[in-house]
Amino acid sequence: MTTPTLRGRDLISAADLSADEITRLFALATELKAEYRAERRHANPPLERKTLAMLFQKPSLRTRVTFEAGMTQLGGHAIYLTESVVLGGRETVGDVARNLEGFVDAIMARTGPHEVVVELAARASIPVINGLTIREHPCQALADLFTVYEHFGDLRGVVLSFVGDGNNVYHSLALMGATLGMEVRLAHPVGYGPNERIVARAREIAAQAGGRLVFTGDPREAVEGAHVIYTDAWTSMGQEAEAEERRDAFARYQVNADLVTISPEAVVMHCLPAHRGEEITSDVMDGPRSVIFDQSENRLHAQKALLVELLAR
């Protein structure tokens, strides 16, 4: 029996991957990580002569470096395209997609509107990867849950408590966590909840996979008994005008030493960049239970696994 592959597929939403596909990506990421850590190279780079176009309309550290370094380490090449390639401005999104499909093997796009990545995928015949939109961040969720997998193994029944905004990172964690049978909790202030359609889809997935979604306004209730305590910046890109209002709304949602003592075995995560002293304190971020920089490194390994599955197998 032939094992199905992801070759030629898009990754637009965290819901695009089945539990078996995610587990296979975790296994491959484990292999690639071990080999690269041992030798700082791969003996037989699987993506020789493959090229990835990277479209960026938002600032980036981790997404740009991990995809570009990952392609190089796998034997391929990445081309960094900034906002000078204005999607829907100088050229339509569809025309950009049609051009790029003739030049490269895959496209990774970090945009604002989710619809831009959806249209790129619809118009291009090559794989398109969502590197972040206002709605989702599936590559972040893949790396994050790979990190949780490294610590806890089988993720069924693992409790991840997200403290803060029902944002794009939460959306992807809820969808992928539900797929893997996890309990994903969210503690958020009134008015800062997640997209209802995404929650509805995550609930459907959870019902089939044995997962669960939980919502509360109380961060202390959310983290009790959790395996993972997760937070993100209170103010995301494009929300700078709301920064002061958000600081007030989220003041009691800070992940600090007092909050994490409620669940003493939990690891602490943050997708970065962090605003130290706001959503998380430095003593927690740099403390022994933090796996924040592990999850950052795992962006490289998880995305390399994804690239290999999309382009080589």
**What residues are annotated to the active site?**
110, 137, 140, 232, 271, 299
DSSP summary character for residue 164: S
Which tokens hold the place of 44? Answer: 């037989």
Longest CA span, the chain? 57
**Measured CA distances, 286 to 227, 254, 274, 281, 293 (Å):** 18, 15, 12, 9, 9
Buried/exposed 290-311: b ≥16 CB within 10 Å, e otherwise? bbbeebbbbbbbbbbbbbbbbb
Phi-psi region of 164 (alpha: psi -120 to 50; beta: other; left: phi over 0): left
**Measured CA distances, 86 to 56, 90, 157 (Å):** 10, 6, 43
Which tokens hold the place of 237? Answer: 């890109």
**Omega of the bond prior to 113 within 30 degrees of 0, cis?**
no
